Structure 1
Amino acid sequence: MSLQYTPVDEYSSIYDSLQATFAKGTALPLAWRKHQLLQVARMGQENKDAFISALKADLNRPVMETLVELGSAVERAILSAQQLDEWAQPEMVTVPEWQQSWLPTIYKTLLGVVLIISPWNYPVLLALQPLIGAIAAGCPSVLKVSEIADNSASLMTDLLPKYLDPSAFRIINGGPTETTRLLEFKWDHIFYTGNGRVGRIVAAAAAKHLTPITLELGGKSPVFIDDKTDLKVAAQRILWGKTTNAGQICIAPDYVLVPRGSQEALLDVLKEELRSFYPDGALTALGSVPQPMWSPVEKLTSNVLLSNLHCSKDVSPHDVLLEDEIFGPFLPLVPVDDLQEALEYINARPHPLALYVFTHDPQVKQSYPARSGSIIFNDTFQQVAVSGLPFSRIGESGYGSQTMKYTYDRFTHLRSSVDIPLQAEQSLGARYPPYSAENTKIIGVAADLKIPMSNSVDGIVNA
């Protein structure tokens, strides 16, 4: 399937038409938004086989993994439609009695026209998931899908206008040049999923217009295994996380910090479990790793111990394998003496998107001050399976959150409101000049409020 790029000279008219749609209030009614959300679900369900074929062509993706990706988009579109009334409900604010007649309220208002830039490695879910949030929030959107997964991009380009209102939602196809042109427009929000290098370019472009952005980036997500962990279960769960989509996902376990005395035992179990996962050979089952990614990383592995899934043991903390996100089926084992050494290693590096800790020791769980987008105990990947949790980032892994209500919140303006009745004038009269001594005393009451007793860190009671 050949992907046709959208002519650059059409960008302005697309942008202007979406702005006009927003100005008309087309996306304001909740019923309209719910219908669009359910249309996303119908698009996924009614074209399941086409999505399976496209992802097979793009990534050699196993059918089950495609169904997980597609199913997540369908389910979250349905759930978003079902929960939208609750999300959009104005919120009354708790205030002192004398302010209650003001009706202090937070309204969930439409943010505007947004740009969504999605990646190639999960070309369906990572395009539709932020779009679902934008639809729920009533934001007309341009979806710039990745040109690398061209079969999936062509399919989405064909299907989207058949299911969604084309006056509000458009797909634009192109490469880096076309994306650069898109970034010149003044959007009300930009949602970018990809790598840190391009993320910096997106952030710089957004800054010219003071446009708020969400950056969903990657990084090196570490695994720590304590010396009391069931290695067989840990190996199964780590391998599942590492080999899903051939390791080409931002939350894949990147490397393992393992107690020095457990390294050989872990390696043996990894080899055994890998054979049970892929008895016919891991590389075929793992899917297609693009050659530009495969070759450079393969050259870095000085000690290949697992067939097709490359696992290097005794990796030095300064090894080149530990410099950048691997984004492929390579798993370095880094031996450490204890938990403290593992923590020091993690804390000395950019904050990861995910931190995986295999332990059943409550003290170890409470001893993990390392900062990360999320922390997951005793498994990998499962944090994104919980729709009620935010998929959040920190530091080099990006900023902002998404998944259902959290994506809705990213694309929603919280508009504060008060409606002060004439009858409140009696309580407001002291604010007017001339500032008499009596009125100054009334207005200044808050500055003289009694401060409660508190305990300092060292346990000494302060007055």
Structure 2
Amino acid sequence: MASFTTEYTPLEEIPKIRTQLRDTFASGLTLPPAYRIQQLRQLARMCQENKDAITDALALDLGKPKIEVLSGEIGHIIARSLHAAEHVHEWTRPEKVEVDTPWQKEWDTRIYRLPKGVVLVIAPWNYPMALALQPLLGAIAAGCCVVIKLSEIAPHHASLLTRLLPQYLDSRAYRIVNGGVPEVTKVLELQWDHIFYTGHSAVARIISAAAAKHLTPLTLELGGKSPVIIDPASDLTLAARRVLYGKFNNAGQICVSPDYVLIHASAKPAFIAALQEACKEWFPNGCLESDDFASIVNPTHHARLKGLLDRTKGQIVMGGRVGEDKNGQMVRMELTVVDGVEEDDVLMEGEIFGPILPIVEVRDIDEAIEFVRARPHPLVLYAFTQNDEVRRKILLRTTSGNITFNDTVMQLSVNELPFGGVGESGHGRQIQKWSFDIFSYERSYVDIPPHVEPGLSHRYPPYDDRAMAMMSAATNIEIPTDEIAGGGVEELL
């Protein structure tokens, strides 16, 4: 694949793009379900017909193995676009609401799910295809017009998608903005009907402040330090393989990557040995020499990760080597495990977002839970246990966007579950129907027929005793006597 230079969008063009999309939305072009279905199928065709070009672009930007791109980016978008196309009629169908109040029974009450309008998607560099197009397909299904701000840190992908999108999708409704800080600053000066941002919490604060000026609703897909709690009684070999799988994907540059492990001293040696054995099995010649292991995105991020290893007080028990990739354009770092990490270590200061896995020793599951509770809520909490009581304790005493037992990363493949953060790891939910819900809103509809007027006549003054009795009736409702206070939590599970 040839290398292309991404042209940044002229600043003066950005407000014009937004205005053009507002005119398109006002015209009603994107409202018919048939239009949305056709555009969703076109999105799937774009990914399918250009999968080789996409994998080449992400190899140049991230050194991503082809299998990771096909499975983790292109395949998801094709399948989810087609799923959304199949369900657009179902998702947009008005819902008849049956009311309980007797005197409202003859009213026509419904819920319409209508598009919010012209929305903005700000995509990251680590999964540049999936995390740009996943929100896009939800917005298409909802009937919105969309501007996607692509990451300048993945320029080959940005150049490719900028050329491909108008070949497959309607440019009257879906546009791309490219650039860095000046361009995204200009974008955020404008009013949008929704903003979907995937990235870092520090940038999310800037975006939130900009959105607040226009009271723009937000979806924030952030990250944070997603912990792994390991029950010593679990299968440590299986746990090690599954944790390492989550850490090696895209060289740990994924928001749901397991960030650190909490484990009892008695289980730690066997767990570390299993990590080492799995790494040796998967990469017999080393990670740096393997085509199955991604690069670090650029020298700046590599220097940050190397700095963490240089400053940690823990002991490197696996990996630690760095090097260039085969074409010498990107830097690499092998899967690295660091033992003896204390809670004040540099590796525990922020999200690692790379192939480094700290091991933190705890006395028991209770201490592991308190360790997690003392920190910002993670995007995902992973735990390995077959003990129902341990599972219940972790579920009810911690807070995270998602919780996954006995594996890592695979929760992303469950299309029927919502995905998103809580607190510092973001807010809002996406994937399939949940993505449609993000970009639509529920508009309640009431039609009160003329013939019920006699039953409403008491609302008009002058008020008499009958009006007072009828309009104050709710204040006299009998409140049930409380049963036994407290009780167990079993009903929550």
Q: TM-score, normalised by structure 1?
A: 0.97
Q: Does 1:230 align with 2:235?
A: yes
1:25: which partner in 2?
28
2:255: which partner in 1?
250
CA distance in 2, matches of 1:364, 1:425: 60
- Equivalent residue letter for 1:414: E
Matched pairs, number: 459
1:102 to 91, 98, 107: 107
CA distance in 2, matches of 1:455, 1:288: 60
1:317: which partner in 2?
343
Task: Kindly provide the CA deviation profile for residues 181-226 of structure 1, in whole angstroms up to 9, marking residues without a partner as x.
Answer: 0000111111111101111010000000011111111100000000
Q: Does 1:179 align with 2:187?
A: no
1:382: which partner in 2?
410
2:451: which partner in 1?
423
Per the alignment, in what secondary structure is the counterpart of residue 367 of structure 1? helix
- Equivalent residue letter for 1:405: K
CA distance in 1, matches of 2:285, 2:78: 32
Q: Does 1:119 align with 2:124?
A: yes
CA distance in 2, matches of 1:3, 1:188: 27
Quote how far apart the aligned CAs of 1:343 are: 0.7
Q: Which aligned runs of 4 or more in structure 1 are off by greater than 3 angstroms?
A: none
CA distance in 2, matches of 1:325, 1:451: 50
2:364 to 331, 338, 353: 338
Task: Kindly provide the CA deviation profile for residues 133-181 of structure 1, in whole angstroms up to 9, marking residues without a partner as x.
Answer: 1101111110111111111111100000000000000011000111000
1:71 to 58, 61, 75: 75
1:214 to 219, 225, 233: 219
Per the alignment, in what secondary structure is the counterpart of residue 17 of structure 1? helix
Within a 5 Å distance, the mapping from 1:5-404 to structure 2 comes to: 5-68=8-71, 69-96=73-100, 97-283=102-288, 284=290, 285-289=292-296, 290-301=298-309, 302=312, 303-307=315-319, 308-368=334-394, 369-404=397-432
CA distance in 2, matches of 1:110, 1:100: 29
CA distance in 2, matches of 1:202, 1:437: 55
For structure 1, the residue ranges without an aligned partner over 5 or more in a row are none
RMSD of the TM alignment (CA)?
1.1
- Equivalent residue letter for 2:476: D
CA distance in 1, matches of 2:452, 2:345: 69
More off after superposition, 275-284 vs 309-318: 275-284
CA distance in 2, matches of 1:357, 1:291: 33
Quote how far apart the aligned CAs of 1:232 are: 0.8
- Equivalent residue letter for 2:316: V
Identity of aligned residues (%): 49
Quote how far apart the aligned CAs of 1:456 are: 4.2
CA distance in 1, matches of 2:203, 2:448: 48
Q: Does 1:452 align with 2:464?
A: no
Task: Kindly provide the CA deviation profile for residues 2-44 of structure 1, in whole angstroms up to 9, marking residues without a partner as x.
Answer: 1111111111221111010011000010000000000000000
- Equivalent residue letter for 2:96: M
Quote how far apart the aligned CAs of 1:107 are: 0.6
1:3: which partner in 2?
6
More off after superposition, 101-110 vs 323-332: 101-110
Q: TM-score, normalised by structure 2?
A: 0.92
